[in-house]
């Protein structure tokens, strides 16, 4: 089973969570700013970012809009934020409109408690890749 982790992070919080999820899943986290395209089909794509000024980062929106249903079996979302899970809701809707299956389960880390959520993020990546 092929798994990938992609994220967008301006402040580094989402990067930390993405790296922990990737470690749990046994893969490398890749910033969409560094390597935006999936090179091959993946069964599971962990995809995450944070809202900025309470809206999804344009870079993350563009990446999600470019994904095709034939590139990915399913997407599992994650977000970091002070209080809003709006990025998860917006991504879920956008991806579903493109015919991409999105898990109901997602990972949230409050931006003030990132370091305290690292182990939980690792377990999230491990659990959801084993479950499949």
Q: How many domains does the chain have?
A: 1
Q: What is the pLDDT of residue 132?
A: 61
Collect the ranges in the chain with pLDDT lower than 70.
36, 132
45/90 Cα distance (integer angstroms): 17
31/19 Cα distance (integer angstroms): 10
Beta strands in 23-98 (DSSP E): 29-31, 42-49, 51-52, 55-56, 72-81
Q: What is the pLDDT of residue 78?
A: 96
Residue appearing with tokens 């370091």:
115
- For position 63, which CATH number holds? 3.40.50.360
Q: Which domain holds residue 89?
A: 3-131
Q: What is residue 39's three-state secondary structure?
A: coil
Whether the predicted model's global pTM rises above the 0.85 cut: yes
DSSP H or E stretch at residue 60: helix 58-66
């Amino acid at each position: 089973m092929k798994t990938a982790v992609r994220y967008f992070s301006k402040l580094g919080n989402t990067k930390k969570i993405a790296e922990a999820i990737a470690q749990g899943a046994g893969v490398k986290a890749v910033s969409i700013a560094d390597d935006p395209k999936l090179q091959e089909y993946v069964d599971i794509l962990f995809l995450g970012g944070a809202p900025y000024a309470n809206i999804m980062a344009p870079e993350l929106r563009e990446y999600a809009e470019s994904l095709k249903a034939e590139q990915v079996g399913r997407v599992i979302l994650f977000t970091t934020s002070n209080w809003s899970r709006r990025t998860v809701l917006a991504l879920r809707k956008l991806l579903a409109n493109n015919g991409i299956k999105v898990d109901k389960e997602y990972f949230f880390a409050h931006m003030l408690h990132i370091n305290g959520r690292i182990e939980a993020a690792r377990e999230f990546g491990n659990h959801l890749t084993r479950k499949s």
